[in-house]
Amino acid sequence: MEIFRLLWVIIFTITLLFYSHSINVEGRHHISKKQKSKNVSNAPSPVDVPVNEPSSLPPSPPLSSPGNVVPSDPSYGGGPTLNSDDNCIFDVTEYGAVGDGSTDDTNAFVAAWKDACQVESAVVLAPADRTFMITSTIFSGPCKPGLEFRVNGVLMPPEGPDCWPNEDSNKQWLVFYRLDNMSFTGTGTIEGNGEKWWELPCKPHRGPNGSTLPGPCDSPTMIRFFMSSNLVVRGLRIQNSPMFHMKFDGCEGVLIDQLSISSPKLSPNTDGIHIENTKSVGIYNSVITNGDDCISIGPGSSNVDIEAVTCGPSHGISIGSLGVHHSQACVSNITVRNAIIRDSDNGVRIKTWQGGSGSVTGLSFDTIQMENVRNCIIIDQYYCKTKGCRNETSAVCVRDISYRNIKGTYDVRSAPIHFACSDTIACTNITMAEVELLPHEGELVDDPFCWNAYGIQQTLTIPPIDCLQDGMPQSVGEAAEYTCNT
């Protein structure tokens, strides 16, 4: 009996040990998630980060290959956190990028992007303490969701039009195309090297004696997102663009947060953020100084929320220009709140061309501090870049515009409030409340200007805007025909 019990214990122990070993082997098999290596010259495989490692197993040994990047902390507060849930980091230096500021690193970025595009939640990394020069490039999708393009170093184009490759488009530099659930982040700088572009004789007042000369004038937009959705742009410093710093065209679902955008005050056409044919956009916690519109909102845009943004020097926050060349333009549901605009040619502006059609509706400007701003509040339906524009009867309809708690100082060279509405189609349902604007220097020289503008003053406006007409016009013209769905 004793011998039988001893044999049973031995058999049970052997079985238990074998079963335990099988579990551990199976667990280790599921931890390894390495990607297949691609045929890229001088490009080691990207670094794998273990995913969901069971607590019953010992931690994986640290990766020690030269050049591997396994960060243990987020790149910056509030941004995407790189942790054990990240699948792969694709460091461009492992694909041959030199990062010395003069070597063309385009091929390395393209190769890293192509590999990362195939992996869910992948990171294309341009590491810190390097300056990468790349030429005009389209980073296209579709890609696996969660792709992050992270710039912690400096990324820049060739310096000026003379260095721009002849085969590259001189209308755009970095293009992100047909992407969904993608983010562009980092602690680094996107440097545009725009100085030589701004000096082209075709640019405003760059010719002899302050003239503007004819000739080729195309300059690249720095960063363009095209036909993409669910985008995040956060944390970067973007500066000295040859033309627009950042443009969103044909996109839906955009979050822009914690950006610093800067160019000199006299740099021409350097809009900070331009939105066109794009819906559902949030722009938050950013500082923009440049030589044109701080934020410009073009046709086909709707549901845009702007908050905690500081602009200036700049040309202010602009809706438009709209309706150029007799086109139809529709913009709706735009909110600007808790903003600061300083030392700018305009504050909050709506600008449309005569002869256009469409509508601008549902705009709210709330709690905005003006500091030495010309044209603090302006609607200009006679926008024209030359003196040769003629009066036309058709116009973009402007209605349902609210200005609340807008205070501060204005540059006395222009009246602080200017409503120049179409002769044919009046601006209607303008609401003014707690608007208090005082001269930055000197005394008030011009009263507010209104032409064919209708609305109400819920509180006394400083300066008084007696020219705003009550109610609605007897004939709103053909306004009903100028509305459209956005």
Contact 473, 454 (CB under 8 A): yes
DSSP secondary structure string, 404-457?
Answer: EEEEEEE-TTS-SEEEE--SSS-EEEEEEEEEEEEESSS------EEESEEEEE
Instruction: Give, for 29, the enclosing helix (H) or strand (E).
Output: helix 2-31
Angle at the Cα of 358 from the Cα atoms of 357 and 364, rounded to 5 degrees: 130
The total of other beta-carbon atoms located within 10 Å of residue 458's CB is 13
Contact 263, 312 (CB under 8 A): no
3-state secondary structure of 271: coil
Catalytic residues: 292, 315
What are the residues whose beta carbons fall under 8 Å from the beta carbon of 3, sequence distance 6 or more?
none
Q: How many CA atoms lie within 13 A of 296 on its CB side?
A: 25
Question: Strand 88-91 vs strand 131-133: parallel, antiparallel, or unpaired?
Answer: unpaired
The rounded distance, in Å, linking the Cα atoms of 209 and 187 is 42
DSSP secondary structure string, 212-266?
Answer: ---S-----EEEEEES-EEEEEES-EEE--SS-SEEEES-EEEEEES-EEE--TT
Q: Which residues does residue 454 pair with via DSSP β-bridges, in sequence order?
A: 469
Sign of CA dihedral 341, 346, 347, 351: negative
Instruction: Give, for 31, the enclosing helix (H) or strand (E).
Output: helix 2-31
The rounded distance, in Å, linking the Cα atoms of 185 and 370 is 30
Q: Classify residue 15 as left (phi > 0), alpha (psi -120 to 50) or beta.
A: alpha
The rounded distance, in Å, linking the Cα atoms of 239 and 219 is 15
Q: What torsion, rounded to 10 degrees, do the Cα atoms 244, 250, 255, 257 define?
A: 0
CB-based burial of residue 327 (10 Å sphere; 0-12 exposed, 13-18 middle, 19+ buried)?
middle
The total of other beta-carbon atoms located within 10 Å of residue 427's CB is 28
Q: Which residues does residue 455 pair with via DSSP β-bridges, in sequence order?
A: 430
The rounded distance, in Å, linking the Cα atoms of 332 and 385 is 25
